[in-house]
């Protein structure tokens, strides 16, 4: 489908006026009337859409024993203790490369396969959840089949974007760790090392912000454009790029207001957790259950950018136009 030109919107773009229609859509979808099956179905689509984007708990490291060496927290300064652990770990790894390398290779391949699967499923889920919110429906099979091509295009774009991010971020993290470790092992802090660490951390933060902004625009606006046009991800980015260039100030205001909106939503969720004596918070940590409980928040966060995008013209409106009322016949004389 041909790319639509940037819209010349006839009215001022607002970030506040669309709060009410997004809120009303949450009420109509989930509470008028309340339907548990519909709620769980939409929650499943929202759960797929958010796969891999929420943090999970990590396991703790309880101890390490490498041969006859033991670690005593009372032996020497922290720097000497770290050097002891470093040499102990390096000796253990060098002495057991025969099984560490094959095991590490298997673990990396398994994690890579799982990561690709999660990325592919979440790309499908983003269109499924958008389908449910835009059409006020609870369907899984229809959007799964209908947006297969668009979701695959989104998957490949996100995969390439992730690889680019890793290529940029991993060396920065490695240099930061090496610089800190070098100063600790030498038991001396030099100005050049501290400055290099600060600069690298600032660069890493800036890179993270850039990729976070790309992801935000991708989910909030590029995916809806793909939903409307049915094209691939690159063509949708080109169309959004023209819209962004013509309305840079409006989108900057949108990002800033999203931060405020996120803080407000976070405060409301935290209040609910406190009122329920942390019971709601514990349930929100459970996979899928937390998504179902937070579904009103997720529907609002999905609907809000859709209403914002629709302000740029009817060609960006994902919500179906209600049918016109039939014309009433003129009264007979």
Q: pLDDT per residue over 164-202, tens digit each?
A: 999 999 999 999 988 888 887 777 778 888 888 999 999
CA-wise closest residue to 309 among 260, 244, 265, 261 = 244
pLDDT for the residue numbered 52: 85
Mean pLDDT for the stretch of residues 22-32: 95
pLDDT for the residue numbered 283: 84
Q: Which of 23-27, 35-39, 307-311, 316-320 has the lowest mean pLDDT?
A: 316-320
pLDDT for the residue numbered 330: 61
- The tokens of 291 are what? 């998504």
Query: Do 67 and 96 touch, CB atoms closer than 8 A?
Result: no
Residue 217 CB contacts under 8 Å (≥ 6 apart), including other chains: 240, 244, 251
Mean pLDDT for the stretch of residues 262-284: 88
Average pLDDT, the chain: 85
Please give the residue that has the higher pLDDT: either 243 or 327.
243
Phi, psi of 278 (to 5 degrees): 70, 5
Mean pLDDT for the stretch of residues 276-303: 90
pLDDT for the residue numbered 71: 39
Tell whether the model's pLDDT for residue 94 goes beyond 70: yes
Q: Which of 127-131, 149-153, 276-280 has the lowest mean pLDDT?
A: 276-280
Percentage of the chain lying above the pLDDT 90 cut: 63
- Biggest CA–CA distance in the chain, Å, is 109
Residue 80 CB contacts under 8 Å (≥ 6 apart), including other chains: 187
Integer Cα distance of 276 and 293 in angstroms:
13
69 DSSP β-pair partners: 66
Query: Do 298 and 291 touch, CB atoms closer than 8 A?
Result: yes
Tell whether the model's pLDDT for residue 48 goes beyond 80: yes
Neighbouring C-alpha atoms within 13 Å toward the C-beta of 210: 12
CA-wise closest residue to 121 among 94, 99, 148, 97 = 148
Mean pLDDT for the stretch of residues 37-65: 71
Residue 52: left (phi > 0), alpha (psi -120 to 50), or beta? left
**pLDDT tens figures, 104-140:** 889 999 999 999 999 999 999 999 999 999 999 999 9
Tell whether the model's pLDDT for residue 204 goes beyond 50: yes
């Amino acid at each position: 489908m041909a790319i639509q030109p940037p819209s010349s919107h006839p009215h001022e773009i607002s970030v506040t006026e669309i709060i009410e229609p997004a809120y009303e859509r949450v009420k109509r979808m989930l509470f008028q009337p309340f339907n548990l099956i519909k709620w769980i179905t939409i929650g499943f689509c929202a759960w797929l859409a958010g796969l891999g984007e929420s943090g999970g708990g990590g396991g703790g490291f309880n101890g390490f024993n490498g041969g006859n060496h033991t670690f005593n927290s009372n032996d020497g300064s922290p720097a000497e203790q770290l050097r002891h652990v470093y040499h102990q770990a390096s000796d253990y790894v060098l002495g057991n490369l025969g099984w560490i390398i094959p095991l590490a290779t298997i673990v990396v391949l398994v994690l890579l396969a799982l990561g690709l699967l999660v990325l592919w499923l979440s790309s499908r889920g983003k269109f499924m959840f958008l389908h449910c919110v835009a059409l006020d429906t609870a369907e899984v099979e229809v959007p799964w089949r209908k947006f297969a091509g668009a979701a695959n295009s989104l998957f490949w774009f996100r995969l390439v974007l992730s690889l680019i991010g890793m290529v940029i971020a991993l060396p920065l993290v490695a240099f930061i760790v090496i610089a800190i470790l070098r100063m600790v092992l030498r038991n001396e802090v030099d100005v050049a090392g501290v400055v290099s660490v600060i600069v690298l951390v600032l660069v890493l933060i800036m890179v993270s912000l850039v990729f976070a902004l790309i992801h935000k625009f991708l989910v909030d606006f590029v995916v809806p454009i793909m939903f409307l046009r049915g094209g691939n991800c690159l063509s949708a980015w080109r169309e959004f790029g023209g819209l962004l260039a013509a309305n840079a100030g409006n989108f900057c205001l949108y990002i800033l207001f999203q931060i405020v909106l996120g803080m407000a939503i976070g405060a409301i969720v935290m209040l609910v957790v406190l009122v329920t004596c942390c019971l709601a918070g514990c349930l929100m940590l459970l996979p899928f259950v937390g998504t179902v409980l937070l579904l009103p928040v997720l529907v609002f966060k999905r609907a809000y950018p859709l209403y914002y995008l629709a302000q740029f013209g009817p060609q960006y409106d994902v919500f179906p136009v209600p049918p016109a009322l039939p014309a009433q016949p003129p009264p007979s004389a």
